[in-house]
A and B are shown apart, each in its own frame.
Chain A
Amino acid sequence: MATLEIHDLHVSVEAENGPREILKGVDLTIKQGETHAVMGPNGSGKSTLAYSLAGHPKYTVTGGTVTLDGEDVLEMSVDERARAGVFLAMQYPVEVPGVSVSNFLRTSATAIRGEAPKLRTWVKEVKEAMEKLSMDPAFAERNVNEGFSGGEKKRHEILQLELLKPKIAILDETDSGLDVDALRIVSEGVNRVRETGEVGTLLITHYTRILRYIKPDFVHVFANGRIVESGGAELADQLENEGYDKYVKGGASA
């Protein structure tokens, strides 16, 4: 069973006046089949956690370890992490001029699976996955994220999640900017992947709204660069009622 173990992770970014520490000792273990929601106020470092796990060059790991089934993730390049089974659904997916969605998906699937998917089954696979996400087939011929609406970008991220079948899926504010219909469609996609029991999910969100559709096994409160409280789904209800105030103003020592 795939396990992602994050231990005492410290991460900093280059700021104007030298490096600034954003993650200050994160401990978290995600097992295949589990869903962890990480919730926290803006600026608490949630997205930094997501991008650090994926290996974004902007973030420097200054301490701690991340392993996937014992393999050192921090030693891996961005593409190696993806091939090892770590997937990041991005909050702001970028446009890639000149590359069509269909070409991109196939190149990516080829890289992740280690061989090119058979064309006939692949076309069917993509078509079905797109239908489930209520995506127009014409979408496949557009350039990656170019001119996509916010909802289309997020559906495209979840389409990749469904096709690439990672061991660990990190969803960075996938719910942000979505209307209720789009949120439902995207959540259903995430749930289809979760129901296979093959993926460990790290759901990063500011709002509890998405947790009505995607039921987490664990909820963690993230503040000031670390996890300050962990609990079950009931913790989300508490956050819904009380907000993050006590974690922000009361200090992060809780």
Chain B
Amino acid sequence: MADAQNIPAGSTTAGSIAVAAESTVATRMSAPPSFDVADFPVPHGREEEWRFTPLARLRGLHDGTAVATGEGVRVEIEAPEGVTVETVGRDDERLRKAGKPVDRVAAQAYSSFEKASVVTVAKEAVLSEPIRVAVHGQGGVAFGHQVIELGAFAEAVVVIDHTGDAVLAANVDFVLGDGAKLTVVSVQDWDKDAVHVAQHNALLGRDASFKSVVVTFGGDVVRLHPRVSYSAPGGSAELFGLYFTDAGQHQEHRLLVDHNTPHCTSNVAYKGALQGQDAHAVWIGDVLIQAAAEGTDTYELNRNLVLTDGARVDSVPNLEIETGEIAGAGHASATGRFDDEQLFYLMARGIPETEARRLVVRGFFAELVQQIGLPDVEERLIAKVEAELEASV
């Protein structure tokens, strides 16, 4: 099962499918989930969940040497009517609802934050404006915790923007009541030295719909761990991701969809482009269909486009199925190169070089961007992708 591979840029992996008697997705982690950092040994880098991550560049988030500084990050929340925004202490029970930390850094974040933000959308409130969360790094070290909770049948869009420079470890929880609909856009547009490690826990109530859009452009190291589980049948999760990894950057997205409840669906699609020496993207897509989760329908996809030499992709989809009574399950992963021969081909058809590159990258991301369904976010992404390309040509 643990056939996660090192895949050099340009190669393709079909991933693996296993039918397991018990969850190896869970046991592949070096320690069981816990809120207490002391329950996790300091990683040395050979553990399954850390083997792709450059620990030396985490600035001490993984070994306890990173200490919060006063003004590490500034968090500003702008919310329309119908939304309650609270700053709460560690003892608030809502902070423990969506899921436990699964690795040492998430547990460190949980053990170290002082104040958390809880954003609550009242039941049946349908927001006409997005909730905007601005997380701005001010050069320090910070541990964060945010909870966004929707009451039954509430509908909301949340845009979380990460900018500036920081060393940040955080847990972000999304709790969806029955029939609630939540779209979360998390943009990692950090300055070049930022380090950002976060676990996102989504817990879906009966018939709830959760859409996550993760967009990573900046930072030195960004390692995100979006996780979804279901508290009742009928939930549906769509997890979209887009990353553009430049020279020297490490961008890692590790997803887990835990189908623990019958008749839920999930659809994962992450796409990344890489350019420059030592650009490194990691995508881990774990989907677990537990024995109880009959009627599950799931698909996960990862595509990478390598634009230059020197970049590296590790893409590891994993699907574990413990019941045969499902509607569908599949996954795909592929990494392709854009090289001089492709450029020659397009130019030999009259297309100028810069336009040729733009054509390829836009085309690559277009299908994914169109699925986001938020026109201003879509436009911003396209503009950002264009800016990345401008910088490279």
Tell me if B305 and A98 are in contact (CB < 8 A): yes
Docked complex: B246-292 residues within 8 A CB-CB of A? none
Q: Interface residue tally of chain B, by bracket?
A: 20 to 34
B348 contacts across to A, CB distance below 8 A = 54-55, 78-79, 81-82, 87-88, 90
**Is there a chain B Cβ closer than 8 Å to A160's Cβ?**
yes
A87 contacts across to B, CB distance below 8 A = 348
The residue from A81, A83, A103 contacting B359, defined by CB atoms under 8 A apart: A103
Tell me if A79 and B353 are in contact (CB < 8 A): yes
Instruction: State how many angstroms separate the Cβ of B291 from the closest Cβ of chain A.
Output: 37
State A144–B343 Cα separation when bound (angstroms): 13
A96 contacts across to B, CB distance below 8 A = 338, 342, 345-346, 360
**Is there a chain A Cβ closer than 8 Å to B93's Cβ?**
no
A82 contacts across to B, CB distance below 8 A = 347-350
Instruction: State how many angstroms separate the Cβ of B265 from the closest Cβ of chain A.
Output: 25
Instruction: State how many angstroms separate the Cβ of B308 from the closest Cβ of chain A.
Output: 14
A56 contacts across to B, CB distance below 8 A = 344
A79 contacts across to B, CB distance below 8 A = 347-348, 350-353
B344 contacts across to A, CB distance below 8 A = 54, 56-57, 78, 94
**Is there a chain B Cβ closer than 8 Å to A252's Cβ?**
no
The residue from B340, B349, B352, B362 contacting A104, defined by CB atoms under 8 A apart: B349
**Is there a chain B Cβ closer than 8 Å to A250's Cβ?**
no
Closest to A96 in B: B342
**Is there a chain A Cβ closer than 8 Å to B361's Cβ?**
yes
**Is there a chain B Cβ closer than 8 Å to A77's Cβ?**
yes
Q: Mark A101-137, 1 if CB is under 8 A from B, else 0.
A: 0011001100110000000000000000000000000
Instruction: State how many angstroms separate the Cβ of B309 from the closest Cβ of chain A.
Output: 15
Chain A CB count within 10 A is highest, among B340, B349, B355, B362, for B349
Closest to B351 in A: A111
**Is there a chain B Cβ closer than 8 Å to A214's Cβ?**
no
State A100–B359 Cα separation when bound (angstroms): 10
Tell me if A94 and B341 are in contact (CB < 8 A): yes
Tell me if B349 and A98 are in contact (CB < 8 A): no
Instruction: State how many angstroms separate the Cβ of B11 from the closest Cβ of chain A.
Output: 13
State A87–B348 Cα separation when bound (angstroms): 7
Given A56-B344, A94-B342, A98-B305, residue A111 in contact with residue B363 (CB < 8 A): no
Tell me if A107 and B351 are in contact (CB < 8 A): yes
Closest to B367 in A: A98
The residue from B305, B345, B349, B365 contacting A111, defined by CB atoms under 8 A apart: B349
Q: Interface residue tally of chain A, by bracket?
A: 20 to 34
Closest to B353 in A: A79
The residue from B340, B350, B359, B365 contacting A57, defined by CB atoms under 8 A apart: B340
State A164–B348 Cα separation when bound (angstroms): 11
Tell me if B350 and A97 are in contact (CB < 8 A): no
State A54–B347 Cα separation when bound (angstroms): 10
The residue from B305, B352, B353, B362 contacting A97, defined by CB atoms under 8 A apart: B305
**Is there a chain B Cβ closer than 8 Å to A99's Cβ?**
yes
Q: Mark B319-353, 1 if CB is under 8 A from A, else 0.
A: 00000000000000000111011101111111111
Docked complex: A13-46 residues within 8 A CB-CB of B? none
Closest to B349 in A: A108
Docked complex: B48-80 residues within 8 A CB-CB of A? none
Is chain A's binding surface mostly helix, strand, loop or mixed? mixed
Instruction: State how many angstroms separate the Cβ of A164 from the closest Cβ of chain B.
Output: 7
Tell me if B349 and A94 are in contact (CB < 8 A): no
Instruction: State how many angstroms separate the Cβ of A207 from the closest Cβ of chain B.
Output: 24
Tell me if A97 and B338 are in contact (CB < 8 A): yes
B363 contacts across to A, CB distance below 8 A = 98-100, 103, 143
B359 contacts across to A, CB distance below 8 A = 99, 103-104, 107
A98 contacts across to B, CB distance below 8 A = 305, 336, 360-365
Given A97-B338, A97-B364, A111-B352, residue A78 in contact with residue B305 (CB < 8 A): no
Instruction: State how many angstroms separate the Cβ of B350 from the closest Cβ of chain A.
Output: 4
B352 contacts across to A, CB distance below 8 A = 79, 111
State A6–B5 Cα separation when bound (angstroms): 52
The residue from B340, B342, B355 contacting A107, defined by CB atoms under 8 A apart: B355
**Is there a chain B Cβ closer than 8 Å to A95's Cβ?**
yes
Instruction: State how many angstroms separate the Cβ of A179 from the closest Cβ of chain B.
Output: 24
**Is there a chain B Cβ closer than 8 Å to A150's Cβ?**
no
Docked complex: A212-237 residues within 8 A CB-CB of B? none
Tell me if B351 and A108 are in contact (CB < 8 A): yes
B362 contacts across to A, CB distance below 8 A = 98
Closest to A56 in B: B344
State A78–B342 Cα separation when bound (angstroms): 12
State A180–B345 Cα separation when bound (angstroms): 27
Instruction: State how many angstroms separate the Cβ of B273 from the closest Cβ of chain A.
Output: 9
A143 contacts across to B, CB distance below 8 A = 363
Closest to B271 in A: A98
The residue from A97, A100, A160 contacting B349, defined by CB atoms under 8 A apart: A160
**Is there a chain B Cβ closer than 8 Å to A189's Cβ?**
no
Tell me if A99 and B350 are in contact (CB < 8 A): no
Instruction: State how many angstroms separate the Cβ of A60 from the closest Cβ of chain B.
Output: 15
**Is there a chain B Cβ closer than 8 Å to A64's Cβ?**
no
Closest to B337 in A: A97
State A54–B352 Cα separation when bound (angstroms): 14
The residue from B338, B346, B349 contacting A112, defined by CB atoms under 8 A apart: B349
Q: Can you list 11 A-B contacts with CB-CB less than 8 angstroms, sorted by A residue number?
A: A77-B347, A78-B344, A79-B348, A79-B352, A90-B348, A96-B342, A100-B363, A104-B359, A107-B355, A108-B349, A111-B349
For the A-B complex with A77-B347, A82-B347, A99-B363 known, give 13 more contacts whose Cβ atoms are closer than 8 Å. Answer: A54-B348, A55-B348, A57-B340, A94-B342, A96-B345, A97-B336, A97-B338, A97-B360, A98-B360, A98-B363, A107-B351, A111-B351, A143-B363
